[in-house]
Structure 1
Amino acid sequence: MDRKEQKSIIEGLLFVSGDEGIYPEQIAKVLEIEGNEVINILEEMQKECEGAHRGLQIVQYAKVYRFATKKEHASYYQKLIDIPTAASLSQAALETLAIVAYRQPITRTEMEEIRGVKTDKALQTLVSHLLIKEMGRAEGPGRPILYGTTKEFLDTFGLKTLDDLPALSEENEQMNEADLFFGSLQEISK
């Protein structure tokens, strides 16, 4: 294997190792080469990344190597973070999400009985936004899919656990769950 191929593989290993990074010894085992040779290649790659037209650099922290963005581009990364996401949820998706949050695990048919309308599109949207996921299958005819919320749901709405959901009191049971859920979240965020 030539040097270019080694660099290409190391670049991929750095990418898949993510923020955790990778030890030179791990790279050496993968490439079946000596550890000092890996360090030489990494140093060459660091110099190549220092070029003005590269957005990434290879950094070393506590013997671990990883990719990092360049500090001089930080203002551009911040702009990306500050851009509001265009992927807002429809009223139907919000209502369906509230039903799932309070009644999980729940089937699509049960959601449709509560809402009184089809939930196919709303479910697709919520799954694609990683707010709900399939939790298994219910017993009974057809073994329908059970849905529940995800960790991303908790993170998105600033909840530590499902116990942090606004309580449904008896007087509120007749209220639309979406109105109660999102109204209570607005109160929490004030």
Structure 2
Amino acid sequence: MTDDRSNDESVGDRAMSDEATSDEAVSDEDSTTAAAAEAEPIEEPIEEPIEEPIEEAIEEAPPFDVRTMPGGARSAIEAVLMVVDQPVTANELATALELPEHEVAEAIEDLERGYAEQHRGFALRCINEGWRVYSRPDYAPAVEKFLLDGQQAKLTQASLETLAVIAYRQPISRSRISAVRGVNVDGVVRTLLTRGLITEIGSEGEQGAMLYGTTPYFLQRLGLSSLDELPALAPYLPDADVVDELIAQGHG
């Protein structure tokens, strides 16, 4: 009896010891979990997505082609001829508008034919292989009536000065007139041409600069029979060498 009780007590003691050990283990595990919970969380590095370079679409300008314009190449050529100050060749038009020269020549002929058939007040004239729009001679009386009637007959100071230079230095180019006056005279020369006071009387040198001179109508308006009757104003104008030097300085 004593041995059995002793055995039972021994078994009981071991069970209690095992339970205590188990409780200690659980306690240790709880402490570890609590310590881990109190510790700062470890942030794992976030991998940022690699941005691939985006190729921006570069819009290229559409190719220059006057054929795609309203009216096509013919209307484009007409627009240029309406604004040029001096006659331009078919080759110059072809180069500027990126067209074959033969196509430009055909368009010019077509335009002039159309102007004539429609009785337009302007025409295309070829001077030294260059083309430009001019008023049609058939309507010269109407143009003169408008420009020379009443107030329209009065010339500005710039027109009078330019006319004097042409009268005393003719034949003279537009660049030489500008050199004498010190200003651009393109608009004034056009006015004098339109009013019939000056006219184109040929070209000069290899560059083909247009030369201008006065008309019989100019003498009529001044009441002169010839240019010899002009007042002695020439001595007050610069010599030709001085004019050439002024032109060279202007181009420099």
TM-score range for the pair, normalised by the shorter chain length: 0.3 to 0.5
Normalised by the length of structure 1, the TM-score is: 0.44
Higher relative contact order (CA 8 A, sep 6+): 1
